[in-house]
Structure formats: structure tokens, C-alpha cells
Structure 1
Amino acid sequence: MHYLTGLTLALFVASPALAEDWDFVLINGTGKPIKTVEIAPTGSTDWKPGLEEEAARRAPVIKPGARTTVRLDRPSSQCRYDVRATFEDATTMVFANGNICDNSYLTVKLTGGKPSISAN
């Protein structure tokens, strides 16, 4: 019996964290048109493109005040993400530490010229 319990535990520990399909609404409060959105777990540099809704692919620029749905695969234990936006003028900014588990809407904005992210 102990053999099976040990084997079961070994399989559980060796299993990778399962990813979940997840989405949130990103609101552009920066005052600048956004061309691309990438996301990464907060504190990492593992940037992945945000998979935007079909309408966003037809009109790829997220205008100031506009919103788009961003889709991702996330491990069930990961809630905090950074958002990297590339603007139409080719500048890039990172908006750090958005909580997508507790908030369905995140607004990226410039506060005193510095990037910030807030939940709605």
C-alpha cells in the first residue's frame, strides 16, 4: 500500500502546473494609441503576446479610451501580471503588477508621465 501512495505522490509532485484559459479587458487610459500588448508574470521577462479578440485584430490599434479583451494561458497559481504596451510612435512601456484574478478590467495609464495600472 505504501508503494502506491508513494507512486501517486511522486506523480502528483512531478506534474506541471496546469494552465487555464483566462481573459481580462484592457482599457487604454494612456492617451496614446497602442499597437501591441504583451504580458508576463510580474517580475519575469517571459513576455507573450496578448491574444486579443477578433475585432482587435481587424483594427489592430487600441485607441485612447478604447478597450480590448486580452486572452492568455495562466497557471492557476499566477495572478499578478505585467503588461508591456508598444505605442504607435514605437515607444514601449511596462505597466507592472496587475491582478487579473480579482479584476476583470485593468486600465493602463500614465500618471505624471509614469506607467501605472489600476483595476476597475
Structure 2
Amino acid sequence: MLKVSLVALGAAALCVASLAGASAANRRVDIVNNTGMVISEFYASNTGSDNWEEDILGRDVIADGETFDINIDDGTGKCRFDFKAVFDNGKSLVRNNINVCQISTFTYTR
């Protein structure tokens, strides 16, 4: 009986450790703009969410050829996010299901 309890305890500890590792993952992503246009707004929301929240850039923009470092961590511990870039001409481009725990750079192209 003691062996079973120790095995179960060890398995539970491994589960907790892997969850802690995922929530501690780096979620900083360099957004690269190679579109020929200015990105005037940028949003990132958990995949499956119906709300884009606030514009992450605020008063900043990402000019063509520029890179902007963004911390995508919203405190939920999730890794999968949808990105929405809004350009200075009013058009937008959405990219879904981006794993921000596995990438460090995301490039928008024409």
C-alpha cells in the first residue's frame, strides 16, 4: 500500500511541476512588420475568446520594417493566442492559434 501511495504522490508532483513550467513560460514575442504598411493597433487574446481586450500598442505604432517586443502574458497561464493587427488604412489581419510559449518572433508579411 505504501508503494502505491508514493507512486501516486510522485505522479501528482510531476503534474504540478509540468503545470508550473507551462505557466512560467516566456511569452515575450517580437512582432515584425514587413507589410509595407503601418500597424496602428495590435491585439492578442486567448484562442477561443470573444474579446480582443485593449490595443497593446497604445500610442505606439509598428512602422514597416520595424520590430516591436510585446509581452503576451495575460496572467492566465495559457500559451495559445489569436493576434489581430490593424493597419493605418483600417484593414486588419487576424492570425489564429499562435503558441507564444514556443515562438519568440512573429512576422506579418504582405
TM-score normalized by the length of structure 2 = 0.64
The 1:31–1:41 alpha-carbon spacing in structure 2 relative to 1, beyond 3 Å, is same
Structure 1 partner of 2:94? 94
Structure 2 partner of 1:23? 28
C-alpha distance in 2 between matches for 1:23 and 1:69? 7
Instruction: Name the amino acid aligned to 1:107.
Output: T
Greater per-residue helix proportion: 2
Select which of 34, 39, 44 maps to 2:44: 39
What percentage of residue pairs aligned between the two structures are identical? Answer: 28
In structure 2, stretches of 5+ residues that fail to align are: 1-22
C-alpha displacement of 1:103: 0.9
- Larger CA Rg, structure 1 vs 2: 2
Structure 1 partner of 2:12? none
Instruction: Name the amino acid aligned to 2:51.
Output: D
C-alpha distance in 2 between matches for 1:109 and 1:45? 25
Q: What is the 5 A alignment of 1:40-119?
A: 40-49=45-54, 51-52=56-57, 57=59, 60-72=60-72, 73-76=74-77, 78-110=78-110
SS at match of 1:75: coil
The 1:49–1:108 alpha-carbon spacing in structure 2 relative to 1, beyond 3 Å, is farther
Greater per-residue strand proportion: 1
TM-score normalized by the length of structure 1 = 0.59
In structure 1, stretches of 5+ residues that fail to align are: 1-18, 111-120
Give me the CA root mean square deviation.
Answer: 2.4
Q: How many residue pairs align between the two structures?
A: 86
Instruction: Name the amino acid aligned to 1:47.
Output: W
C-alpha displacement of 1:49: 3.0
